[in-house]
Amino acid sequence: MADINSDFRVISTLRYDPGLAKEINNQDPHLELAVAPFYLLTYHRGRLLDAVSDFHWDAAISRIQQTASAEKFAETLSAHLPDKSRPWRLRILLDHKGELTVEASPILSPLSSHIFIFPPQPSFSSLCAQNKDVIHWKLRLDTQPTEPSIFTKHKTTVRDVYNAARMRVNLPSVAAPVEVLMYNLNGEAMEGSITTVYFRRRVVDETYNSATVVDEWITPLLSCGGNSATTRRYALDTGICSEGVIRVDTLKSGEEVWLSNGVRGFMPAVLEL
């Protein structure tokens, strides 16, 4: 891995929003109130460190380790905010030399249009009832498989396979509430081009020495080829979902799914086949 071409950067993109502080429960062990305006900041720092470690970029590893806490990382990002009183999309880029760049773009969508913070004991099945203004998305199945690689394992500026998947299903701009579901050569769901995907499946629960069939929300295993996104990590940590293999030949047109990313949070979607 040490000799891999370094003409690219690793990325993590998040939402900065002063309104997020009002939504966080002080008792939530997965979120830090001190850096609340930076959505899931601790997860973003961890994601960047995982990526540069996999690429063996020593200077970049050192750069991230300099921000030893979420508060220090927040200070670094704050210097790139044109106006701290409004929401921003922050795109963090880190190269093999350890140079960190932050691009800030204004966000127009209100917090209420997506779901960012889970309530205690969350369930995807009830989130919409608690958030009436949430935007509903559409998810289209890709027309051909994508071969997993280290560039699908980590988010980088190497985006060719994602752009190709979007083009194959004629997606409009990334601002539109439409996404493509990518799958690997084995016919297993990976992820969306800009989102993590969650599916509801009937599974056997063998707790208490008895087998019971229950509904459970599943996100594809990382071994299927998708990346370890920040919202995916948050969802797993809160217990709202588990990991598993989702075969595309089991998908049904019209089924309810959920999507997530670090700028838009969590959003319901309908699968189109």
Instruction: Quote the CA–CA distance of 105 and 153 in Å, as a whole number.
Output: 26
Domain coordinates of the chain in residue numbers?
10-108, 124-272
Q: Which residues partner with 93 through β-bridges?
A: 11, 101
Chain-wide mean pLDDT for the chain? 92
Instruction: Name the least confident of 4-13, 56-65, 186-195.
Output: 4-13
Across 35-53, b (16+ Cβ under 10 Å) vs e yields bbbbbbbbbbbbbbbbbbe
| Alpha-carbon 33 to chain mean position | 20
Top-tier CATH class for 124-272:
alpha beta
| Alpha-carbon 254 to chain mean position | 23
Instruction: Quote the CA–CA distance of 142 and 150 in Å, as a whole number.
Output: 20
Residue 51 scores a pLDDT above 90:
yes
Instruction: Please write the tens of the pLDDT for every residue from 98-136.
Output: 999 999 999 998 898 999 999 888 889 888 887 888 999
CA distances to 20, 51, 257, 263 from 110, in Å:
11, 31, 22, 12
Instruction: Please write the tens of the pLDDT for every residue from 203-259.
Output: 776 666 666 667 899 999 999 999 999 999 999 999 999 999 999 999 999 999 999
Domain 10-108 CATH (choose: 3.40.50.300, 3.90.170.10, 3.30.470.10, 3.60.20.30): 3.30.470.10
Bigger pLDDT: 186 vs 29 = 186
- Predicted pLDDT at 120: 82
